[in-house]
Amino acid sequence: MTSPSLYWLRNDLRLTDNAALTAAAAAQGQVIFLYVLDDETPGDWRLGGASRWWLHKSLEALSATAPLVLRRGAADKVIADVLTESGAAAVHFTRDYAPWSGALEQRVKAACEAAGASCHRYGGFLLQEPETIRNGSGEPYRVYTPFSKACFAAGEPRPLKPVPKFSGWTGKLKSDRLAGWGLLPTKPDWAKAMAAHWTPGEAGAAARLKDFIADGLEHYADERDRPDRDVTSRLSPYLHFGEISPAQCWHAVRAAQLAAGGKLDKAAEKFLKEVLWREFSYHLLHHWPTLPEKPFRPEFSAFPWSKNPKGLKAWEMGRTGYPIVDAGMRELWVTGIMHNRVRMIAASFLIKDLLIPWQDGERWFWDTLVDADIASNAASWQWVAGCGADAAPYFRIFNPVLQGEKFDTAGTYVRKWLPELARLPDEFVHRPWEAPALVLKAAGVELGRNYPHPVVDHAKARDRALAALKETKGIQ
């Protein structure tokens, strides 16, 4: 009997355009599909609650098309056990870029060598490997715009790989029950509403991409900052779990652009630049692996943050008294995602209005976002905080009222997620504390009772943030 190949699934939960699976299937014999729930190796960065919900649903979907072996534990030890139990001749897997992944992959390689099996690592989670895009001096990029230009100059991504022909291993291997992993919440079932907004899995990813190209892409460049419009791709969780590859997204958008006779030039370029922001985030993470925990600009290590547990709790629960911020936090709680523009507004409020460390917000997003991503999360929070690579200046402080009035002009987004404010007139929906008492009463709004007073005065909070900036030596 020919020895099987072991395909170690990671954040590549798809059959299409999968180099590791293609190579495993091309070898003679059968393929063992192994997924390891490793809560040990990432330490404090074990999957958050929303990600665990998504993972359960994604594995459930994948199990309908591939025979999965599920194990729990340190990935290198589990792989060593499966090699011994199965006699597999080779291990194939997709590269990961988290700070702990390089060392883990080396331990997997050592386990393979000890078992007499070959070890093969492949790309596919990114368009380009982080080592390949360098500036003119051969150094990694620190600024997004020249990085994105270099990526465009590198040419179109590689051709896509079709679903390979494979057969599952007919031998016997012990497998955990997915339900036994406890990935889904029990009581209270805070994820119940998420199912109405998402279809995790490869088929759901393909459908989402198709819908975006048909209905959202045309308006993407002009309206992507409008939370009251449904034009964003919402592909981020599918990309994070590898249910679709960035190359698939890229080629699909290019094909739509070609079919439209170039009419989508502006929209396509804007979307592809967002794909490249994801690439840039991983470029940074690879070259600066402390990105999720320490400021990229070390002078920010001395910034005088405030200890404000009440403020943090109000922000987490969407009870700050600033409607656009609260609407975003409520959307996050219900759907596991937040509109991209509102993420920036909410993050700026936490960091600059409340002077709460960006790491606290990063951790909350890690637990509550279905697209929680170690690189994009860290890079984006540091961008807003002003301490990251290619960061927005710290003195750029979003005014939550003006941002709401600019991007949610009629208050449609706020009214959707804050029904207690639904009857307020447009002129007050983003600033309810300024509404006359009779207007509040007619709208059924009781400040301090069914909607909070603002936790801070934004103008004063802005001055305080700028004063704190001045106190910190070396920040300009």
Distance of CA 143 to the CA centre of its chain: 20
Q: Is the dihedral of CA 367, 372, 375, 381 positive or negative?
A: negative
**Lowest-confidence pick of 91-95, 108-112, 386-390, 413-417:** 386-390
Please report which confidence band the pLDDT of residue 474 belongs to, taking 50, 70 and 90 as the band edges: low
Q: Is 417 exposed, middle or buried (0-12, 13-18, 19+ CB in 10 A)?
A: buried
Residues 78 and 120 in one domain: yes
CATH at residue 318: 1.10.579.10
Asked if the model's pLDDT at residue 393 lies above 80, the reply is no
Whole-number average pLDDT of the chain: 95
pLDDT for res 401? 98
Which among 124, 146, 177 is the end of a domain?
124
Residues 331 and 464 in one domain: yes
Stretch 355-361: mean pLDDT: 98
Residues 142 and 270 in one domain: yes
Query: What is the SS3 assignment for 318-386?
Result: CCCCCHHHHHHHHHHHHHCCCCHHHHHHHHHHHHHHCCCCHHHHHHHHHHHCCCCCHHHHHHHHHHHHC
pLDDT for res 475? 62
Asked if the model's pLDDT at residue 441 lies above 70, the reply is yes
Task: Work out the angle between the directed axes of helices 340-348 and 374-385 (0-180°, nearest 10).
Answer: 50
Which among 236, 266, 287 is the end of a domain?
287
- Determine how β-strand 90-94 pairs with β-strand 31-37: unpaired
The answer to whether position 163 is within a domain reads: no
Residues 332 and 280 in one domain: no
The answer to whether position 184 is within a domain reads: no
Residues 247 and 361 in one domain: no
Stretch 297-306: mean pLDDT: 92
pLDDT for res 263? 83
- Sheet containing 118-122: which strands, arranged edge to edge? 68-72, 31-37, 5-9, 90-94, 118-122
The answer to whether position 407 is within a domain reads: yes
Asked if the model's pLDDT at residue 436 lies above 70, the reply is yes
Annotated catalytic sites, by residue? 274, 277, 305, 340, 358, 381
Residue numbers of the domain that contains 133: 126-158+201-287
Whether the predicted model's global pTM rises above the 0.85 cut = yes
Q: Is the dihedral of CA 196, 198, 203, 205 positive or negative?
A: positive
Distance of CA 465 to the CA centre of its chain: 28
| Residues ≥6 apart with Cβ < 8 Å to 421 | 323, 411, 414, 415, 429, 432, 443, 445, 451
The answer to whether position 116 is within a domain reads: yes
Please report which confidence band the pLDDT of residue 473 belongs to, taking 50, 70 and 90 as the band edges: low
Q: What is the pLDDT of residues 9-47, one digit of tens each?
A: 999 999 999 999 999 999 877 999 999 999 999 999 999
Written as one letter, the residue type at 355 is: L
Percent of the chain at pLDDT > 90 equals 92
Asked if the model's pLDDT at residue 236 lies above 90, the reply is yes
Stretch 271-285: mean pLDDT: 97
Kindly state the tokens that stand for 262: 């170039």
Residues 137 and 84 in one domain: no
Asked if the model's pLDDT at residue 284 lies above 90, the reply is yes
Residues 336 and 208 in one domain: no
Which among 76, 108, 124 is the end of a domain?
124
Residues 209 and 257 in one domain: yes
Please report which confidence band the pLDDT of residue 364 belongs to, taking 50, 70 and 90 as the band edges: very high
The answer to whether position 24 is within a domain reads: yes
Q: Specify the higher pLDDT residue, 81 or 262.
A: 81
Q: Per the structure, how many domains does the chain have?
A: 3
Asked if the model's pLDDT at residue 395 lies above 90, the reply is no
Kindly state the tokens that stand for 126: 């990114």
Residues 224 and 335 in one domain: no
pLDDT for res 333? 95
Distance of CA 346 to the CA centre of its chain: 16
What distance in Å separates the CA atoms of residue 311 and residue 346, rounded to the nearest whole number?
Answer: 13
CA distances from 295 to 1, 359, 384, 390 (A): 54, 9, 12, 12
Q: What is the pLDDT of residues 127-184, one digit of tens each?
A: 999 999 999 999 999 999 999 999 999 999 999 999 999 998 999 999 999 999 999 9
Q: What is the pLDDT of residues 198-223, one digit of tens each?
A: 999 999 999 999 999 999 999 999 99
pLDDT for res 406? 98
From the list 50, 63, 52, 47, the residue with the least C-alpha distance to 13 is 63
The answer to whether position 82 is within a domain reads: yes
Residues 273 and 141 in one domain: yes
Asked if the model's pLDDT at residue 440 lies above 60, the reply is yes
Residues 439 and 406 in one domain: yes
